Structure 1
Amino acid sequence: MSYEINCERPNAQELANLLEAVGWGVNALDALQTSIAAYTETVCARDLDGVLVGYVSVFSDGVFTTMFGEVVVHPEHQNQGIGTDMFQAIEKRFPNAPMYVKTLGTSEKFFQAIGFQSSALPQAVLFKAAKLNSMD
């Protein structure tokens, strides 16, 4: 299958469709639009009909850090080089900033295959849940 990779922002509905296809559930369109707009760069992979089949989002200062947010490829289009090509687009966009990614599930093998390495120092991913609709 052929596809195109472009630095562009998808619309919220097509991203919602992709996220649902990969098992990330149903997402509110307004929340997705806010997320899409917040990233420094997003890369989309589209099939020849223009359907979104891959999405990568990053925050980057272009110098010290490029941090990946979402990395998603539709299950029917995985193992075709789409993820690798989207990462290469980000590398071209931010060639001077080290890249960082948090891995979930079995994704660590993919990232290692495209050149990412584990840190020699112990690391942890820490988070603090957002307060939703708090009246405090």
Structure 2
Amino acid sequence: MATSEYDQEKARPSPALSVVTVVLGKTAHVLLAGELDISMSAGVVSAVKTALEDRAVITIRVDAALVAFCESSGLGALLQARRLAAARGVRLYLAGARPSLQRLLAMTDTGHLLEPTARCGCVARLRPTGCCWVRLRTWLVRISAKH
């Protein structure tokens, strides 16, 4: 029995989502890279829960600049992360959303809930050569390119 092109596409594993959380002072930076789909959405919620364990954190910035794709379950994970943060009195911001994610937020009228920021919060601000953030972003780009 021959498999169709559709079945072959469906059988391919989805690219993994890389999640890195770093707390700097009172802000937790959650960097995402890859595809935010149903199989990877739990990683976002888990990262936010981990950040919320630090009682000094008053802000969480989720950096989505390297998210290539986000489906409805990924959006649901972002909204769940927001609810968890709000329950603790912590503000959650979405930074660096690509146009496809911005369209999803607009279509679902949920963008205002994630308080998107104009610029990519954690990666764009920290630019010094040799900085760990530059190496980290390079590593995340390589990881997402392999998938």
Q: TM-score, normalised by structure 1?
A: 0.41
Q: Which structure would you say has the larger RCO, counting Cα contacts within 8 Å and 6 or more residues apart?
A: 2
Q: TM-score, normalised by structure 2?
A: 0.39
